[in-house]
């Protein structure tokens, strides 16, 4: 058996905080073998990123390694002086960060950044380093690298930038790459390509990878061995197949159960949808005028630039059903949602609620019957308001209650229905966790007794286990109140679990729609097929 690249022994990372010491990483030990891809998975706050940062010696102060050892090929590195450690970075251990848009210095060309890194670690002159930089970009899948090497980061798309970041991390042939959520900021289709590039480049060089992610699907498709972390501790270690198919620990079992899969439909509501149509969307179109100012058009000859965010979209939603609208970023699905609730005026087209056009008039009725749940529960609740006031606002605004007493009783009832203690109505939003805030947002949406709720990515800011709880709550409430949902999501698995019917959007156009099982099992549109193939999913593990 060969020697491990990295050995972590009893690592403890601590953060002295105002209210005491926070142990981010607690007694963690593991090895990474040469050429191996080790997945590290966990929910937010599990300490997985901090473990990676500890290995490469980049923990932000006041955090620090309190005890334990880290060995690189048998040599202890956690106690090296800063200058020596900095020479190890890039040369022996490379790192890839989450957000490609902020990982590159905007003021230097990608070539300058590559050459600088290469020459820091390898004995090369400018010309040799430049040639090597071009080769690296080529390997990372950047077309015509000879001309692109002198471009600035802002001239690349997000996916292309992440390829540059990977090329940079590999510039001096490190033996280990720590990839911290390398694809979480990217769209599904780009994500698949980036995983492929990362895997190919590391394989061809025999570099090991420590893949840190919250997405079990990515690990299932990429890694061979994995570690499950929770609250700073390692819960379970084993082969990817074993852990996903046969988890041993309670925490892992619950985690795997909570992860939605595009093959699974467990969270669909029980009450069968009726056949009456509640919402009809007809030829909905929205243009955004992004033309440069008059002066630029005059001087630079810049053209008028009208973006068709949503083009001619039509679909129906049956009363009591859930309609899932999926698509990648920029597909126009959120614009659609905002037009349905009246936050954006459509350029043309109609939205009918029970046969009456709500895009044009009927505002009072729309306001009462149509509600919305937003993506970010941290931004959708006013931080300066008490929970009681937040939930009661629709009742007061729409004059559904006559006095404060009545409003308070209704708020208490709503809090119970979303499984929160009525006492919490006196508190402020910052005293709650993300999942609890989303429950408060749901209670606010319910407070006007709506029939139709538009849910715009309601769980994408949440951890998987919390996501499962919120989705279950949404399903229960649907059965209880006979609600109709429009569920907007980039997460295909969530839509498969929740929706009766589904529509797929791409560049502002609805490319396909139909019953959810038909679309997922037998997609007709080319784009839908590509999307379904690209999704990293735990069902794909052997």
Partner 1 sequence: MLAFILRRLAQSIIVMAVVALIAFMLFRYVGDPVASLLGQDSRLEDFEELRERLGLNDPFYVQFGRFIGNALQGEFGISYRLQQPVSELIISRLPATIELAFASATIALVFGLTLGVFTALKPRSFASGVIMTLSLVGVSLPTFLIGIGLIYVFAVELQWLPSFGRGEVVDIGGWRTGLLTETGLRSLILPAITLSLFQLTLIMRLVRAEMLEVLRQDYIRFARARGLSKRAINFGHALKNTMVPVITITGLQLGSVIAFSIVTETVFQWPGVGSLFINSVQVVDVPVMAAYLMFIAFVFVVINLIVDILYFAVDPRLRVGAGRR
Partner 2 sequence: MSSTNNPAVTEQPRSRFQRIWDSDIFFSFRRSPITIVAALVTLVLILSALFAPWIAPYDPFNPASLNLMDGFTPPNSESMMGNYFLLGSDHQGRDVLSTILYGSRISLFVGISATLFAMAMGISLGLLAGYRGGTIDAVIMRVADIQLSFPAILIALLIFGIARGIIPPSQQENMAVWVLIIAIGLSNWAQFARTVRGATMVERQKDYVSAAKLIGVHPLRILIRHVLPNVLAPVLVIGTIGLALAIIEEATLSFLGVGVPPTQPSLGTLIRIGQQFLFSGEWWILFFPAMTLILLALAVNLLGDWLRDALNPRLR
Q: Please give the residue ranges that form the binding site for partner 1 (CB under 8 A).
A: 56, 58, 82-83, 86-91, 94-95, 97, 99, 102-109, 116-117, 120-121, 148, 151-152, 154-155, 157, 165, 168-169, 171-172, 295-296, 299-300
Rounded to the nearest angstrom, the gap between the alpha carbon of residue 34 and the centroid of all alpha carbons in its chain is 30
Is 426 one of the binding residues for partner 2 (CB under 8 A)? Answer: yes
Is 59 one of the binding residues for partner 2 (CB under 8 A)? Answer: no
Q: Which does 453 bind (CB under 5 to 8 A by kind): partner 2, partner 1, none?
A: none
Beta strand pairing call for 233-239 and 64-72 = unpaired
Is 33 one of the binding residues for partner 2 (CB under 8 A)? Answer: no
* Comparison of 71 and 108: residue with beta carbon closer to partner 1: 108
> What's the closest the beta carbon of residue 403 comes to partner 2, in angstroms?
19
Q: Which does 91 bind (CB under 5 to 8 A by kind): partner 1, partner 2, none?
A: partner 1
**Token pair recorded at residue 370:** 């149509």
Backbone phi and psi for residue 153, each to the nearest 5 degrees, phi listed first:
-50, -40
- Binders of partner 2 among residues 263 to 322 (CB under 8 A) are none
Q: Which does 102 bind (CB under 5 to 8 A by kind): partner 1, partner 2, none?
A: partner 1
Query: Residue 108: left if φ>0, alpha if ψ -120 to 50, beta else—which one?
Result: beta
> What's the closest the beta carbon of residue 221 comes to partner 2, in angstroms?
30
Residue 374 CA to residue 451 CA, distance in Å, equals: 17
Is 254 one of the binding residues for partner 2 (CB under 8 A)? Answer: no
Candidate segments 24-32, 243-251, 297-305, 377-385, binder of partner 2 by CB under 8 A? 377-385
* Comparison of 58 and 360: residue with beta carbon closer to partner 1: 58
- Binders of partner 2 among residues 474 to 493 (CB under 8 A) are 476
> What's the closest the beta carbon of residue 329 comes to partner 2, in angstroms?
16
Query: Is 237 in contact with 225 (CB distance < 8 Å)?
Result: yes
Query: Residue 523: left if φ>0, alpha if ψ -120 to 50, beta else—which one?
Result: beta
Candidate segments 73-81, 99-107, 227-235, 380-388, binder of partner 2 by CB under 8 A? 380-388
Instruction: Report helix, strand or coil for 374.
Output: coil
Residue 162 CA to residue 140 CA, distance in Å, equals: 9
* Comparison of 151 and 350: residue with beta carbon closer to partner 1: 151
Concatenating the DSSP letter of every residue in 277-325 gives EEEEEEEEEEEEE-PPPHHHHHHH-PPP-EEEEEEEEEEEEETT-EEEE
Length of the chain: 542
> What's the closest the beta carbon of residue 95 comes to partner 2, in angstroms?
23
In sequence order, what E strands does 126-169 have?
none
Q: Report the candidate in 393, 373, 516, 527 with the shortest Cα–Cα distance to residue 457.
A: 373
For residue 519, what is the enclosing H or E element? helix 516-521
> What's the closest the beta carbon of residue 158 comes to partner 2, in angstroms?
21
Query: Is 248 in contact with 316 (CB distance < 8 Å)?
Result: no
Residue 109 CA to residue 118 CA, distance in Å, equals: 14
Q: Which does 303 bind (CB under 5 to 8 A by kind): partner 1, partner 2, none?
A: none
Q: Report the candidate in 238, 250, 231, 207 with the shortest Cα–Cα distance to residue 51.
A: 231
Is 382 one of the binding residues for partner 2 (CB under 8 A)? Answer: yes
> What's the closest the beta carbon of residue 407 comes to partner 1, in angstroms?
44
Is 472 one of the binding residues for partner 2 (CB under 8 A)? Answer: yes
Rounded to the nearest angstrom, the gap between the alpha carbon of residue 517 and the centroid of all alpha carbons in its chain is 24
Beta strand pairing call for 277-289 and 306-318 = antiparallel
Q: Which does 300 bind (CB under 5 to 8 A by kind): partner 1, partner 2, none?
A: partner 1
- Judging by beta carbons within 10 Å of its beta carbon (0-12, 13-18, 19+), is residue 2 exposed, middle or buried? exposed
Is 427 one of the binding residues for partner 2 (CB under 8 A)? Answer: yes
Q: Binders of partner 2: how many residues, by CB under 8 A?
A: 45
* Comparison of 4 and 90: residue with beta carbon closer to partner 1: 90
Candidate segments 115-123, 174-182, 197-205, 370-378, binder of partner 2 by CB under 8 A? 370-378
Residue 78 CA to residue 57 CA, distance in Å, equals: 7
> What's the closest the beta carbon of residue 355 comes to partner 2, in angstroms?
22
* Comparison of 473 and 509: residue with beta carbon closer to partner 2: 473
Q: Which does 372 bind (CB under 5 to 8 A by kind): partner 1, partner 2, none?
A: partner 2
Is 342 one of the binding residues for partner 2 (CB under 8 A)? Answer: yes
* Comparison of 108 and 481: residue with beta carbon closer to partner 1: 108
Is 188 one of the binding residues for partner 2 (CB under 8 A)? Answer: no
Is 433 one of the binding residues for partner 2 (CB under 8 A)? Answer: yes
Residue 86 CA to residue 104 CA, distance in Å, equals: 19
Residue 208 CA to residue 204 CA, distance in Å, equals: 11
HSE at residue 19, side-chain half, CA atoms within 13 A, is 0
Query: Is 80 in contact with 54 (CB distance < 8 Å)?
Result: no
Is 435 one of the binding residues for partner 2 (CB under 8 A)? Answer: yes
> What's the closest the beta carbon of residue 379 comes to partner 2, in angstroms?
4
* Positive or negative: CA dihedral 400, 470, 463, 161: negative
- Interaction site with partner 2 (CB under 8 A): 18, 338, 341-343, 363-364, 367, 370-372, 374-376, 379-384, 390, 393-394, 397-398, 419-421, 423-424, 426-427, 431-433, 435-436, 439, 441, 444, 448, 469, 472-473, 476
């Amino acid at each position: 058996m060969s020697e491990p690249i990295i050995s972590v022994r009893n690592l403890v990372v601590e953060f002295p905080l105002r209210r005491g010491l926070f142990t981010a990483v607690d007694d963690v030990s593991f090895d990474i073998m040469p050429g191996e891809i080790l997945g590290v998975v966990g929910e937010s706050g599990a300490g997985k990123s901090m473990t990676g940062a500890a290995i490469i010696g980049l923990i932000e102060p006041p955090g620090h390694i309190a005890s334990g050892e880290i060995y690189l090929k048998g040599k202890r590195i956690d106690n090296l002086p800063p200058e020596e450690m900095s020479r190890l970075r890039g040369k022996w251990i490379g790192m890839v960060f989450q957000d490609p848009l902020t990982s590159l210095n905007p003021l230097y060309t990608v070539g300058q950044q590559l050459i600088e890194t290469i020459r820091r670690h390898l004995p090369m002159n400018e010309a040799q380093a430049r040639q090597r930089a071009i080769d690296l970009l080529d390997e990372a899948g950047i077309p015509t690298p000879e001309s692109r090497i002198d471009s600035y980061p802002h001239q690349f798309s997000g996916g292309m930038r992440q390829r540059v970041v990977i090329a940079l991390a590999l510039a001096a042939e490190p033996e280990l790459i720590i990839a911290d959520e390398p694809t979480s900021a990217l769209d599904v289709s780009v994500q698949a390509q980036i995983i492929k590039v990362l895997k190919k480049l590391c394989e061809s060089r025999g570099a090991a990878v420590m893949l840190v992610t919250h997405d079990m699907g990515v690990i299932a498709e990429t890694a061979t061995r994995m570690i499950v972390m929770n609250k700073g501790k390692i819960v379970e270690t084993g082969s990817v197949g074993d852990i996903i198919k046969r988890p041993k620990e309670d925490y892992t079992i619950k985690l795997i159960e909570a992860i939605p899969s595009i093959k699974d439909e467990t969270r669909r509501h029980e009450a069968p949808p009726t056949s009456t149509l509640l919402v009809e969307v007809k030829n909905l179109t929205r243009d955004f005028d992004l033309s440069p100012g008059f002066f630029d058009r005059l001087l630079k000859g810049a053209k008028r630039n009208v973006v068709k965010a949503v083009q001619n979209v039509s679909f129906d939603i049956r009363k009591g059903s859930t309609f899932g609208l999926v698509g990648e970023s920029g597909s126009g699905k959120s614009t659609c949602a905002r037009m349905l609730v009246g936050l954006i005026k459509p350029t043309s087209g109609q939205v009918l609620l029970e046969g009456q056009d709500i895009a044009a008039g009927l505002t009072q009725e729309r306001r009462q019957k149509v509600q919305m749940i937003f993506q970010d529960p941290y931004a959708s609740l006013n931080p300066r308001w008490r929970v009681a006031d937040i939930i009661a606002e629709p009742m007061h605004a729409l004059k559904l209650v006559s006095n404060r007493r009545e409003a308070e009783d209704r708020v208490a009832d709503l809090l119970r229905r979303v499984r929160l203690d009525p006492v919490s109505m006196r508190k402020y939003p910052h005293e709650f966790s993300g999942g609890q805030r989303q429950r408060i947002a749901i209670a606010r949406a319910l407070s006007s007794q709506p029939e139709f709720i538009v849910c715009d990515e309601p769980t994408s800011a949440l951890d998987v286990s919390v996501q499962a709880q919120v989705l279950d709550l949404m399903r229960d409430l649907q059965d209880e109140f006979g609600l109709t949902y429009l569920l907007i999501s980039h997460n295909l698995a969530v839509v498969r679990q929740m929706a009766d019917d589904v529509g797929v959007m791409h560049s502002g156009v609805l490319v396909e729609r139909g019953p959810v099982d038909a679309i997922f099992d037998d997609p007709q549109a080319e784009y839908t097929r590509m999307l379904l193939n690209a999704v990293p999913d735990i069902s794909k593990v052997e």
